[in-house]
Structure 1
Amino acid sequence: MLKIRNLTKVFGGKNKAVDNISLDVKEGEFIAFIGTSGSGKTTALRMINRMIEPTSGTIEINGKDVTHMNPVELRRSIGYVIQQIGLLPHMTIKENIVLVPKLLKWSEEKKDKIASELIQLVDLPESYLNRYPSELSGGQQQRIGVIRALAAEQDIILMDEPFGALDPITRDTLQDLVKELQQKLNKTFIFVTHDMDEAIKLADRIVVLSKGKIVQFDTPDEILKNPANDFVRDFIGQNRLIQDRPNIRTVEEAMVEAIKITRDASIQDAINIMRERRVDSIFVTEEDGTLIGHVDIEDINEAFRKGYNLMDAITVNQFVVNINSKLQDSMRAILKRGIRTIPVVDENHKLVGIITRSNLVDIVYDSMYGEPEVETGVDK
């Protein structure tokens, strides 16, 4: 898909920002470039679409050398998202989304269709297509910036620290969105970040750069288990090396049973189950197990007092994790968001379990100190 060989960029005749790097990226892969300031990660990214011209070396996309391509046509064939978002303030959201398709002379019908499809992918109403960027929040603008990079159906999407200026919760939500879109659309993403947590969460493989050279190029798990040298070890951080090596690696292995009830149940049914199972909240699902939301004891009391039904009391779960997610992602979400319980769903959004703060604490202690010894009653 993408082949980089002996790529070098020299500024001012002597300063090597990128120093003889080579790597292969597979179709549909999520690659993160990470390193300290001045490591060459952004320069390497911007040479892929020739925003910066290489001093030497080659970049091939599907066997074609990009240096032999028209740079404008090349950039129109590659999606690009930057930290500053870059939405044009005098254009509507729809006009911003279809900017490249317009340059490619798509029909109005095709542009309307792609704008409608993409805005639905990021859970924004179609009415927003007629708004202007100033009418949207920073997080909503960033969502538009992401889908604009997908609008021309490019196979490669470049992202240069797109979430660096956002608050932690918005950033976490958009990370989830980007990973979901990348997997759903099977696009190749090259993502620049200085945040190791972000790289571990998003990437299939991570390129660790230092002083323009590749220090390590491997999967997140392998980098965490076997840092190539002291630079990588220090960059990861000792705390992360401990936290990201629990005996249990996936959400599926760590989740516990979810206490649930179907939407046609009564308030009294919910009270009876909560009393029997000694819990202060219960999840509500469709008959087929699809998660709808949850109710807690305060919701139940209020609904019971006012004569409401169960669905009147429900709170929709704004945050869920997939059963195949990495455990460390759930750990960070619980800590960042102050959530006690996160529902776990499968690919069809059916509730399959929960992750709780308390069982995560147990896992961390077990990974750091081992299982507690069992008293046998026999003197030694």
Structure 2
Amino acid sequence: MATELLLENTSDAVLCLSSDWRYEYVNRAAEMLLRRKRDSLLGRSHWDEYPTLLGTPAEEHLRTAMGRQSTVTFEQFIPGLYAWHSVTAVPNGGKLVLFCRDVTDRVRALREEAVREGVRSVLEHVPVAITVTRGPEHRIEMQNEFSRALIQGRNMEGSTVKSALPEAVEQGFIALLDQVFESRKAFVGTDMSLVYDADGSGTQRQAYFDLTYQPIFETDGRVSGILHMGVDVTERRREKDLLARYAAERDATLRQLSEGVIITDAGGRITLVNERAAHLHGVAVLDVPVDAYSATYQLLTLEGLPYPPSELPLARAVLHDEFVENARWRIRRPDGSEVTVEGSAQPVFDERQRKIACVLVMRPLH
């Protein structure tokens, strides 16, 4: 009686199996663990009640304990309960006494940690800055190699984004993270400026990033964190700004020239017509292809006939990479007046000898 009272009040689930695998005893904790009344188990075969365990390591361990009359400890997954149980099988006079505990949370935690470590290993050397934050406070859980490189190798795992990069608050990045966490919708931004202390020295530097903030969902649909993916595009932005400055300087210079200038891209579409060229033609139309030069700008031969598109000086530079000098043609303006011009055309190549543009320079003949 004392033993039975003890078994009824222990926190372990205790079951006793006979030599033919039938339940002889089931305590109160076992009822709760298996979610079965003991009356539904007593006298029944273990393998009939749990056929999904046949052919698994659990069957092998139990048969070993019964056959060798030796104690065996193992863990088993119960599909019907979607739970993991720790089992110690103790032989007792040809029978088996099973001491069981629910270890689902521990097993899941171990597996989730293994998954996280696996993901970390995969993402560590991906050539994109990747950071994982957790919770509404955006605490940094993981940074890969490229993410750490942006802050001179400093490891900020465990800190919040706000404490790690206080500059991000006033620049609106924390608000963006809050928005993603609360709205459950991803954010994608390009050429986003961030002024921050990269090396911890107190010196601020400006950098530009293409950013993606992707919410991380749990199995119950909750957002538990955010996956940050960033590409440092500072050099690209600087080159873009430099090209824009060069273009602005070029346009300003071309506007002051006394000659008319028309520039095309490598494929021949007109990208620029300076003021002098627009005055000579009486019109300035961009994005015109080679075969439409004559019709769009009313270009004529010296005899007054429509100029064959493929024979125009600019067309020859585009189509055949020719350098054409001192060619002459006539222009009929929209108001009906005509002017005769002389001009030269040539392709423009970069340092790798790739054609990047074509240029036509013209002046009126008086």
TM-score (norm 2): 0.20
- Larger proportion of strand: 2
Choose between structure 1 and 2 for higher RCO, CA contacts under 8 A separated by at least 6 residues: 1
Query: Bigger radius of gyration, 1 or 2?
Result: 2
TM-score (norm 1): 0.19
- Larger proportion of helix: 1
